[in-house]
Amino acid sequence: MQAEQLRPLDAAYLALDGPRTVGHVCLMLPLDGPVTFTELLAQVKTRVGRLPELRRRLRLMPFGVDRPWWVDDTEFDVRHHVFEDRAGESGMAGAVARIAMGPLDRSRPLWEAHLVTALDGSCAVVTKVHHAIADGSRMRDILHALLGIGDEVGEDRDPEDPEWEPEPSPSLTSLLTRGALGLMSWSVEAGVSAMRQSVTDPSGLTRAVDFSGWPGAPATILNKPVSGKRSWAFGTWDLQASKPARAKLAATVNDLLHATAAAGLRTWLLERDALPAAPLVAMVPISVRHLAVDQSGANRIALTLCTLPTDVGDPAERVVAARESMAVAKSHPAMSEEALAVVFRAFAPVLSPGSTLATALRLPDYVHLPFNTVISNVPMGGDLFGVGERRVTAVYPFPPIGEGMGVNVTVQGYQGRLDVGVSACAEIVPDIDELFAAMTREWDTLCAL
């Protein structure tokens, strides 16, 4: 496949790889029975040709003068990406946390799949995919390619991997020239678009980046410099049981999710006498892939900021407050996809060094982020995954956390259920199970309204 330059937002995710942070997303997929490593390796080997990003590696530019490129891995070997692990006394959660914090080799395609066997003989596949090659929507495509069952992955396909001849990596001069031409073309198009919009929709120029009206995120004990250790809790919430509450309160699943996260954080902080008077603020990614004519690029998202009703004590009132807050957040995203592209295109050369410097100087002790946590909700439709004859019973996310942000809450839809993963810095939230239990109790409370 011809070399392709990373889009600005995709390249920005590489900066999450720091001394104590990683930029990849892990999913734990328990199986309904044991499988062998040979079975998993054989299945991945026959399917890995379905998506080009699974066999492309990074080609970095000298001194970071331009964004990296994707080039074919001419020495691709699936055995560099599929591994066998065993969970120890810490169980699956400990094994996944250990796998999640292992850096991906940037000289190879940025993904791995691990078959993990617990002490009781149960098995799970743990996928590790860098955010630079997949957002939530694209991750679904990767899971379909490697583990999908049914028509959506094409049961009538040739079981063998399609013939693949890697393209030789272009010369450095060629890539630098193409990058410069691409920047010139983008600059002209962006300038023409801005001039046209200044005439047809002047207010749209200011809406691209709009933090107006948003209160600053309060300082909390969750927002500190992070360590290299992670804690993780996971579980499944009954989606169908929430239907009466959603109807009664005119709320969406996302509204209930935000209210539930707010209640859990409120309880956890109150127990430590550390709940700020002002509500916490969450950064919420919004998929815009369905709005884009050009479907290329790993990450097609906008970002918005949403207050979490951690200052509201009543469960029903908390849902109403979460609903109203999210309605405002959706009406004017803090940063549109176009704004993200401009910002990250401009600051691409300094993102990774800046991230490392922020960690070294412990900047989160002095400079607070405009949000306290990240909450993501990734729908999955009617997907079904498996290895051989065994079926995946859940899809539990282990999302990354960044400097100054000690907790991330992510929900993955699967087979009509909500599979939830809460990750945290283990030194900031050592009792992650208590935080997750508080959220689960709130979900059950809402379902019983």
Domain range annotation of the chain: 4-172, 210-383+401-447
User: What is the reported pLDDT for 89?
Assistant: 82
Averages of pLDDT over each 10 residues, the chain, 449 residues: 86 90 95 96 95 92 82 95 92 93 95 96 96 89 91 44 71 68 46 44 49 72 94 96 95 96 98 96 88 69 93 97 93 80 71 70 75 91 91 96 92 94 96 97 95
Residue with tokens 């990406």: 81
Q: How far apart are CA 313 and CA 198, in angstroms?
A: 45
Among 353, 286, 245, 276, smallest CA distance to 15 is for 353
Q: How far apart are CA 444 and CA 449, in angstroms?
A: 9
Q: What is the DSSP string of 7-69?
A: PHHHHHGGGG--SS---EEEEEEEBSS---HHHHHHHHHHHGGGSGGGGEEEEPPGGG-S--E
- Segment holding 230, helix H or strand E: strand 230-237
Query: CA of 58: how far to CAs of 107, 130, 131, 182, 354, in Å?
Result: 7, 12, 13, 18, 20
User: What is the reported pLDDT for 67?
Assistant: 86
User: What is the reported pLDDT for 94?
Assistant: 93
On whether the CB atoms of residues 440 and 309 are closer than 8 A, the answer is no
3-state secondary structure of 307: strand
User: What is the reported pLDDT for 287?
Assistant: 86
Q: How far apart are CA 400 and CA 425, in angstroms?
A: 10
Tokens of 383: 């997907």
Write down the architecture of domain 4-172 according to CATH.
Answer: 2-Layer Sandwich (3.30)
> Does residue 416 come out as left (phi exceeding 0), alpha (psi in the -120 to 50 range) or beta?
left
Q: What is the DSSP string of 366-430?
A: TS--S-SEEEEEE--TT--BEETTEEB---EEE----TT--EEEEEEEETTEEEEEEEEETTT-T
Q: How far apart are CA 293 and CA 360, in angstroms?
A: 41
Per residue, what are the HEC states of 135-198? CHHHHHHHHHHHHECCHHHCCCCCCCCCCCCCCCCCCHHHHHHHHHHHHHHHHHHHHHHHHHHH
Phi–psi pair at 188, nearest 5 degrees: -65, -45
Q: How far apart are CA 394 and CA 412, in angstroms?
A: 9
CATH of 210-383+401-447, one of 3.40.630.10, 3.40.50.10150, 3.30.559.30, 3.40.50.920: 3.30.559.30
User: What is the reported pLDDT for 191?
Assistant: 46
User: What is the reported pLDDT for 186?
Assistant: 40
Determine the angle formed by the axes of helices 37-47 and 136-147, rounding to 10 degrees: 110
Predicted TM-score (pTM) of this structure: 0.87
Matching fold, domains 4-172 and 210-383+401-447? yes
Phi–psi pair at 168, nearest 5 degrees: -60, 145
User: What is the reported pLDDT for 337?
Assistant: 80
